Structure 1
Amino acid sequence: MGGTEKVEESLKSERSKQVTSEAKPDFRKRLLITLDSFRDGGSEAVWWSVWWMFMVAAVYSRLHYITMPYRVVWDEAHFGKMVGWYINRTFFMDVHPPGGKLLLALFGYLGGYNGTHSFATPNTPYDGYHGIMPMRVGCALLGAGMIPMGFHTVWVLTRSLPTAALAATLLTFEVGTITLSKFILLDPLLMFFVLASFHGLCLSHNAADRSFTRSWWLSYTYTGIMLGCVMSVKFVGLFVVGVVGCYAALDLWNMLGQTYRPLVNVMQHLVSRVLCLILLPAVIYLAVFCIHDHLLFKAASVFAAEEAHFSPGFQMTLKDNQLNNVSQPDEVAYGSVVTLRNDNLAGVYLHSHNLTYPERVFPKKLQQVTGFRAKDINNHFKLLFPEEDPDLSDGFYSGEPEFLAHGDWVRIYHTATSALLSCGKNKSLITTKHNLVYARPYNLTDPPQVDAASEVFNVDPSKISSAGVSPWQMWMVHLEGGKPGDKVRTLHSRIQFLCIPNNCALTWPRAPLPVTWGGGQAEVTCSNNLKDPYTTWMVEQHFNPYLKNKTFTHLRSGFVSRLVESHRVMTWVNSRLKPVGEQRYNSHRPWMWPVCFKSQVWYDVNFRIVLLGNPVIFWINLVFLFVAPLLLLHHYYKHKRGYTPSPRLAERKERIVFAVKWLFLAYLLHYVPFYTMDRILYYHHYFPALQFSSMLTAVVLGYFLESLPSWLSPDTARLAFHWTTASFFAIFAYSFHKFCYVGYGHPTVSGFNPDNSTFKDIRFFDEWEI
C-alpha cells in the first residue's frame, strides 16, 4: 500500500507541474489578447475598464494633498474674498464675468462656509473656519472631470481606444494642470467648460448624419449650454466660442454648396444653430449676470472704491451707498460743498490731500491735486465767488442764494486742506503736454495778498482780484450744450472748468502718478484740447443747508443699463492691467509657455508650491505641434495626387484629418491671441491651450502607432505597438513621479536655495525656481 501511495503522489505532482507549465502560456496568451483588445478597442469591457482606471487616477491625483497648505495660496486671496462677498451680499467689481465666482460661492455655501474669513493675504491660516476646503474639493473635482472629458472627446474623434488612453494619460500626468485644479481659482472651472464645449462640438459632428434627431438636438443643446458656462467664467472663453463658431459656419457653408439639399433644409439648420449656439449661451450668460446682480445689493462701505467705478445711477441701486435714496439740492449755488466726478467710464473724483509734488521739480511745495476712485472727505470742494469769501460762521454766504450758471467764474476751494485749486504755468509731470494743476493754501478768514507778477505773465493787472486771488485760481464754468443763464444742476449738468489765462480745461488724462510720491493716484491736469471728452465733470454730491433738497430716484439705472455699464467697466479695467514693478519679473510672455521656460512660485512659507508644467509633456507636445500640420500637408498632397485609399482606411483618415485640423485650430485660437495683448500675463493663461495640445499629440501619435501594420509585418507591428505604447505610458508616469511634488508642494525648512534644493537635479533652466 505504501508503494501505491507514493506512485499516486508522484503522478499528482507531475500533473500539478504540467498544469502550472500550461498555465503560464495561458496567462501570456490572455495578456496578449487583452492588449490586442485594447489596441483594437473592440471589447466594451476593456473600454470601460480603461475609462474607470483614468477616472480613479484623475480624482486621486487632484484630491491628493488637497488641504496642503491649510492657508491662503496665491489668488485664493482674490477669489476667496469674492465668495465671502457673495455669501454676505456685498457688491464688488471684478474683471471677469460672474459665473465662475458664483460657482465657487455655491461650493462654499454647500460646504457650510459663512463668508467670514478675511482672505486678506496669502499665508493667512484657515484654522477655525468651516467650509473652505469644500471649495478646493469642488475645483479639484471639476479639474478631475477634464480627464474623462478629454478621453471621450478623443474617442469620439478617432474611435481609437489607445489614442483616447494616450490623451487621458497626458491630461492626468500634467503637473501644472493639477496645481491649478487644487485651489480656489477660476482656472479649473474655465478649463473644464472649455473642454466640455469642444466635446460638444465633437458630439455634434458625430451626429451630423442624424440631423434633427433627439441625439442631434441633445448634442447641440449640450454645446450651447457649455458655451454659455465658459463665457460666464472668463472672457477668454470666447476663444472656444470662436472654434465652435468656425465649425458651425463651415458646416453651413458646405451644406449650402450641396445642390441636392433643399434651401429650406439649410435654413432649418441655420435657425437650429442660432438657437443652440447663439441664443442659448446668451440666455445662460444673462441669467448668470441676473443672479449676480440680484445677490449683490449692498455697498461694501460708504467710502468703498468698488462701486466708485460705476456711474451715480448704478450706485443708487446699492444699499448703504451714499447715493442710495440720496436727498440733496438740485441747483448748485455759490458756497455749496460738492464732489466733482469726471463724467466718463470709471471716472475719478477730483481730490487733494496734504502731500506735495517732488521738491526737486517744484521747490515751492505745491500741494497735489489728483483723481481718486473712492468716496473720501478729501473729495469735498467748496464753490466760492471769484472775489468774495463766505461771511457766515458755518462757511456759507448770507442773503439769497446765487446759483452757478453757464459762463460764471468760480473758485474751487478744498475744504480739508484750506487750499484753492490752481493752474500753473508749469507743465505737468506725467502728461507733459498739459499744464500742472495744484492747490495753493488760502485762509478764508484772512486771505493773503498774492504778488501776481510772480505767478502771472502778460495779464491785465485790472483782472487780478483785489483779494489777492489770481486768474490762475479762477475757473470759468462751461455747461455742455448750455447757454447764458442755464444753471448747474446736481447729477444732471456736464461741466467744463476753464482756466482762461492758460486757455485750458481741467481734465483727467488717465495716467497714474508714481507710487513713490503720488500713491499711484490718477493725474489731474489742464488740457489745451477743449474738445477732449475727459475735460467734462459733474457734481455728484451736493451739500448746502440753505437750499431745498430733492430726490434723484429717477436716475437709478435699470438692469440693462447695469449690465452694459458693468461690461464696459470690466473691459476698461482689464485693459489697464499692465505689469508694474515686481510684477514685471513674475509675468510671463507667451513665447515662454510652450517651452516651459519659466516657473511661478505660488507659496513659500515652510511649504513650497511652484506652478511648473510637466516639461516632458510640454516638450513632446511642442514636437507634435510641428508634426501635426506636416501630417495635414501630407494628406492633402496625396489627395491632390489622386491617391484613393480603401474605404476603411479612407474613413479612418477622414477622422484623423478632422481631429488634427480642429484640435490644431483650437490650440492656435487659445494661444496666439495672447501675443496681441499688452496686459499682464501669467503662466496659467496657457493651460487651456495646453489641453488641446495634449489631445493633438495623442491623436497624431495614435495615428502613427495604428499605421505600423502598413510598414511592418503583422507580428512585428503588434509587438512594436505594444512596446511603444507601454514606453510612452512609462515615460509620462515617470516624469510625473519626478515633478509632481513641485506642483503638489513639499515641506521646507527655509526659503528657496537653488544650490540646496530637493529638485536641483531636474532643474533644466535657471528660471525654474524648484
Structure 2
Amino acid sequence: MDNIRHRHITSFQSGYDPVLEPIVFDEKRKTKKPFRISSIKLKNTLAPALATIRNFYNKYYNIIHPLSFTFLSFLTRFYLISLSDVVMWDESHFGKFASHYLNRVFYFDVHPPLGKMMVALAGLLAGYDGSFNFESGTRYPEDLNYTFMRMFMASFGVLMVPLAYFTSIELGFSKHAVILVTLMVLFDTAYLCISRFILLDAMLLFFTFMTIFCMTKFHNQKCDPFSANWWRWLIMTGISIGCVSSVKWIGLFTTALVGLYTIEDLWNKLGDLSIPKIDYLKHWVARIICLIVLPILIYIGCFAIHFAILTHSGPGDSQMSSLFQAGLIGNDFAENPLELAYGSRITLKNTGFGGGLLHSHVEEYPGGSGQQQVTCYHHEDINNDWIVLKPREIEIYDNETDVDVEFVNNGDTIRLLHLGTERNLHSHEVPAPLTRAHWEVSCYGNDTNGDEKDYWVIEAVDDIYKKTNRIRSLSTSIRFRHKVLGCYLRAANIGLPDWGFRQVEVTCDKRNNPKDIFTHWNIERHWNSRLPPGGKANYKSKFLRDFWNLNVAMYNANNALVADPDGFDILTSKPRQWPILEVGLRMCNWASDLIKFYLLGNPAVWWSGTVSLIMFILTLFCYLVRRQRQYNDFSPVQWTYFLYVGRICLIGWLLHYLPFYIMGRVTYLHHYFPALYFSILMAGFLMDHFTASCSLKTKNIIFSIHYALIITIFWYFKDTAYGVYSPNIELRGKKWLNTWDIVD
C-alpha cells in the first residue's frame, strides 16, 4: 500500500498504549484517516498462528510438561541455596561422615553407607579436603564449597518432581491429575526444605520415588512377559530397592511394598491355567534373581566399598570386633601376644552385637551388695584392664621371673584382678541392679583377700582360625562360668541409670545357653613382655562376619535412640501428629537476628493427602457394600484398576507410617516424608476418580482451584524453606496451628 504512512500516536493523544499506527489517504473525502487493525480482520490473521501453537503443544505436551516441571524443580531447589553459610541441623552429622571418608578413618553410624558415601563424593567433587569438623551452628570456612555440596544433594530432590510426573502417567492418571500430583511434590515446602541441605533425606526420597516408578513401569509390561522392556524394568526395580535400602533402613518399607505386589502377582499367575508351568517357574526365578539377589548384592557391595575406603583406625572402632580393628591402619592390636598366659594384662570385649569392654571403677552400687560396680564401656580407659591370675590356693605366677611362661587353657579356673582398684571380679547371690533374674557382678577384696566366689572357669566357644586348647587373643570366643554359682558373665546392652554413668549392665546369667552371644567374650588387648607379638598374619578378619556384626550393631544403636525420659526435646514428634501437620521442626537456632529454617509441609498438600486416604477407605467400603448388594458400578477392568492403584497408595502409606508407632526409637517429622508421597498419589487418584463423569469445563475449574490453592499457600510459606529473615514476632501470621512453634 503505497499510500500508507506511519505516525506515532501516544497513549495521551489516542487513549491507547503507544503504538505505530498506519495512516491511509481517503480518496473520496480527500482526507487522511487512521488505518485500524480491525479493518483487516485480525481474527483471520491470528487464527492460523494460534492453531499452529496449539498443534505444537498438543503434539509435544508430553515433552513440554515434564521439562517445564523439571525446570521449576531446579529453580525452586537451587534458589538461595547458599544463603545460610552455617552448618544446619544434621549437616553436622553427614558432613562429618564425609570428612571421615575423605580421611579414610573408620566411623560408626546407624544408617547404611550409600547415602553417606554420596555425600563424601559431593565433598570430593567440591574440592573439600576433610579438615572441617562440621560442628552445628558454626560457619563454613571459605575454602569449603558447601554450596556445591548442597546443590549435589538437592539434585536428588530435583529429580523427585519428574519421577512423580511419570509415575502418575504409569498409574493411568488423567492429565489433570498428573499435573496435580506433580505440583504437590514440586510445591511442598517440607520436600523443598529437606532437599536443600547436606542430608540423606532427598536421596532416600529419590530412590523411593524411583522404586515406585520402576514397579509401575514393570507392571505395565505384564502383557509382554520376558520381553526386553519387561526385563529392563524388573532389573531397575531391583536396583532401586537395593539403593533405597542402602541409604536408610526406612527403604525396607518400600522393599516390602514391592514384595507384597510381587507375591500377589505370582499368586494371580498361579491361578492362570493358560500360563505353562515352565513359564510360571521362570517368573519365580526372575523375581528371586532381580528382586532378592540383586538388591542384596547391592546392599552388601555398599558395605564392601565402605570397608575398602575406611582403612584407618577412627572413632567407630569400638563398635566392631577386635579382629576387625586389628586390620585397621594405626591400630596396634596386631602387637598382641597370640596366646594368653598367666600374669598377662588384658582387656575383654563382649562379642554380643555392639558389645563393650569389661570395666570397673571405684564407684559402688547404690543398692544390692554396695560393692564396686562392674560395667561394660565402649571407650578406651585404664579401668578396662585386668590381670589374669591363678586361684589363691595355687602359687601365684610371677611374671617378672625367668620361669617358663604358663599358658591359659580351655577349662582352667582363673581369677581376674582389676588393675586400677586391685579388686577381684566377683559374683554372689544378690540380684543384679536391673536384670533381677541374674546375679550381681561386682569387684571385691584384693590380691590377697577374697573367697572362692572370685573364681571363674574359662570355656572356649570357638576360634575363627585354629582349633586349639589354648586361648588366643582376638580370635578365640570364650565364656566365663562362675566356679561356685555356675552362672555366666553376661552384658546385653542394657544401660544403667546415671549412678552407673549410663554404661552397660554386667550380670551373671543363671542359664547355660552356649548360643547366647552376650555371654561370649574375646581378648582385645593383651600385654605380656615375655611373649612375642602375634603379627597381622594371625589377625585377619572375614568380610561377611564384619558385615553382619556391623549391621547388628547398627540395629542395636537404632533401638537405643530413645528420647530422654527426664528431658524435653523440641525437635521430636509423635507419628500421630504427622498426617495432620500438627508440628513443624526448627532446623537451627531461633534467634531473631539469624536466618531461620522451619521444616513445615504445605498444608494444602498434607491435609488433602490425609483426607484422600480417609476418603478412599470410605469409598472402598461403600463400593464393597454395593457389590455385595449386586450393584455393578464398575466393569471388571475398571474394578481391577481401582483396586490396583488404591492398594499401592494405601498399603504404601501404611507400610511407611504404621511401623513408627511400634518403634522404640525417637521419631521426627521427616520420618513421614516417604509416606507423604503415597498420600499425594492417593489425592491425585481420587480427584481423578470423583471427576471422571464431569464435563471438561467443570474438571478444569475443580483442578484449577486445587492448583491455585497449592501454589498460593506455597508462596505464603516459602520463606520457611528459603530462610526467614524477619524477627520472630512478625511470623505470627504463619502460625496457623497453636502447635507450630514457629514463634517463640
Q: TM-score, normalised by structure 2?
A: 0.86
Aligned to 2:419: 415
Q: Report the 3-state secondary structure (helix = DSSP H, G, I; strand = E; otherwise coil) of the residue aligned with 2:417.
A: strand
After TM superposition, list the pairs within 5 Å mapping 1:393-432 onto structure 2. 396=400, 399-405=403-409, 409-423=413-427, 427-432=431-436
Q: Report the 3-state secondary structure (helix = DSSP H, G, I; strand = E; otherwise coil) of the residue aligned with 2:494.
A: coil
Q: Structure 1 residues 478 and 217 mapped into 2: Cα distance closer, same or farther (>3 Å)?
A: closer
Q: Report the 3-state secondary structure (helix = DSSP H, G, I; strand = E; otherwise coil) of the residue aligned with 1:413.
A: strand
**Structure 1 range deviating more: 501-510 or 516-525:** 501-510
Q: Structure 1 residues 405 and 261 mapped into 2: Cα distance closer, same or farther (>3 Å)?
A: closer
The one-character-per-residue Cα deviations of 1:476-499 (angstroms, maximum 9, x if unpaired) are 3242479xx965443455544455
Aligned to 1:76: 91
Q: For 2:513 and 2:625, how far apart are their aligned partners in 1?
A: 59
Which of the numbers 552, 563, 576 marks the counterpart of 1:579?
Answer: 563
Query: In 1, are the aligned partners of 2:735 and 2:742 still within 8 Å (CA)?
Result: no
Residue 623 (1) aligns with residue 632 (2): no
> How far 1:620 moved relative to its partner?
1.1
Residue 476 (1) aligns with residue 465 (2): no
Residue 600 (1) aligns with residue 585 (2): yes
Q: Structure 1 residues 557 and 761 mapped into 2: Cα distance closer, same or farther (>3 Å)?
A: closer
Which of the numbers 548, 551, 564 marks the counterpart of 1:564?
Answer: 548
CA RMSD of aligned residues (A): 3.5
Residue 349 (1) aligns with residue 357 (2): yes
The one-character-per-residue Cα deviations of 1:242-270 (angstroms, maximum 9, x if unpaired) are 22222223223323322223223323333
Query: In 1, are the aligned partners of 2:457 and 2:482 still within 8 Å (CA)?
Result: no
Aligned to 1:508: 491
Residue 766 (1) aligns with residue 739 (2): yes
> How far 1:215 moved relative to its partner?
2.5
Aligned to 2:8: none
> How far 1:653 moved relative to its partner?
6.5
Q: Report the 3-state secondary structure (helix = DSSP H, G, I; strand = E; otherwise coil) of the residue aligned with 2:607.
A: helix
Q: For 1:223 and 1:637, how far apart are their aligned partners in 2?
A: 36
> How far 1:167 moved relative to its partner?
0.3
Which of the numbers 500, 503, 522 marks the counterpart of 1:521?
Answer: 503
> How far 1:421 moved relative to its partner?
3.6
Q: For 2:672 and 2:552, how far apart are their aligned partners in 1?
A: 25
The aligned amino acid for 1:623 is: V
> How far 1:351 moved relative to its partner?
1.4
Aligned to 1:281: 295
Q: Structure 1 residues 420 and 56 mapped into 2: Cα distance closer, same or farther (>3 Å)?
A: same
> How far 1:601 moved relative to its partner?
1.5
Q: Structure 1 residues 45 and 639 mapped into 2: Cα distance closer, same or farther (>3 Å)?
A: farther
Q: Structure 1 residues 289 and 633 mapped into 2: Cα distance closer, same or farther (>3 Å)?
A: same
Q: For 2:350 and 2:68, how far apart are their aligned partners in 1?
A: 60
The aligned amino acid for 1:522 is: V
Q: Report the 3-state secondary structure (helix = DSSP H, G, I; strand = E; otherwise coil) of the residue aligned with 1:57.
A: helix
Query: In 1, are the aligned partners of 2:596 and 2:724 still within 8 Å (CA)?
Result: yes
The aligned amino acid for 2:588 is: Y
Q: For 1:610 and 1:616, how far apart are their aligned partners in 2?
A: 17
Q: Report the 3-state secondary structure (helix = DSSP H, G, I; strand = E; otherwise coil) of the residue aligned with 1:371.
A: strand
Q: For 2:241 and 2:412, how far apart are their aligned partners in 1?
A: 55
Residue 723 (1) aligns with residue 717 (2): no
Residue 332 (1) aligns with residue 337 (2): no
Q: Report the 3-state secondary structure (helix = DSSP H, G, I; strand = E; otherwise coil) of the residue aligned with 2:523.
A: strand
The one-character-per-residue Cα deviations of 1:119-170 (angstroms, maximum 9, x if unpaired) are 1x31121122323322211111111111110011101212521111000011
The aligned amino acid for 1:53 is: S
Q: For 1:141 and 1:748, how far apart are their aligned partners in 2?
A: 28
Which of the numbers 637, 657, 672 marks the counterpart of 1:686?
Answer: 672
Q: For 1:212 and 1:47, how far apart are their aligned partners in 2?
A: 28
Residue 537 (1) aligns with residue 545 (2): no
Aligned to 1:458: none
Query: In 1, are the aligned partners of 2:389 and 2:397 still within 8 Å (CA)?
Result: no
The aligned amino acid for 1:308 is: S
Aligned to 1:111: 126
Residue 609 (1) aligns with residue 597 (2): yes
The one-character-per-residue Cα deviations of 1:55-91 (angstroms, maximum 9, x if unpaired) are 1221111112312321111111111111111122211
Q: For 2:301 and 2:469, how far apart are their aligned partners in 1?
A: 43
Q: Structure 1 residues 186 and 7 mapped into 2: Cα distance closer, same or farther (>3 Å)?
A: farther
Q: For 1:425 and 1:287, how far apart are their aligned partners in 2?
A: 49
Q: For 1:389 and 1:176, how far apart are their aligned partners in 2?
A: 71
Q: TM-score, normalised by structure 1?
A: 0.83
The one-character-per-residue Cα deviations of 1:228-286 (angstroms, maximum 9, x if unpaired) are 21121112212222222222232233233222232233233333333332333233223
> How far 1:652 moved relative to its partner?
6.5
Q: For 1:540 and 1:759, how far apart are their aligned partners in 2?
A: 58
Which of the numbers 187, 190, 196 marks the counterpart of 1:176?
Answer: 190
**Structure 1 range deviating more: 623-632 or 171-180:** 623-632
Query: In 1, are the aligned partners of 2:475 and 2:539 still within 8 Å (CA)?
Result: no
The aligned amino acid for 2:574 is: R
Q: For 1:587 and 1:487, how far apart are their aligned partners in 2?
A: 51
The aligned amino acid for 1:740 is: K
Aligned to 1:380: 385
Q: Report the 3-state secondary structure (helix = DSSP H, G, I; strand = E; otherwise coil) of the residue aligned with 2:250.
A: helix
> How far 1:371 moved relative to its partner?
0.8
Gaps of 5+ in 2: 4-23, 463-467
Gaps of 5+ in 1: 445-466, 709-716
The aligned amino acid for 1:540 is: E
> How far 1:731 moved relative to its partner?
0.6
The aligned amino acid for 2:457 is: V
Percentage of identical aligned residues: 29
The one-character-per-residue Cα deviations of 1:545-570 (angstroms, maximum 9, x if unpaired) are 12344446345222222222222222
> How far 1:379 moved relative to its partner?
1.3
Aligned to 2:319: 309
> How far 1:721 moved relative to its partner?
2.0
Q: Report the 3-state secondary structure (helix = DSSP H, G, I; strand = E; otherwise coil) of the residue aligned with 1:235.
A: coil
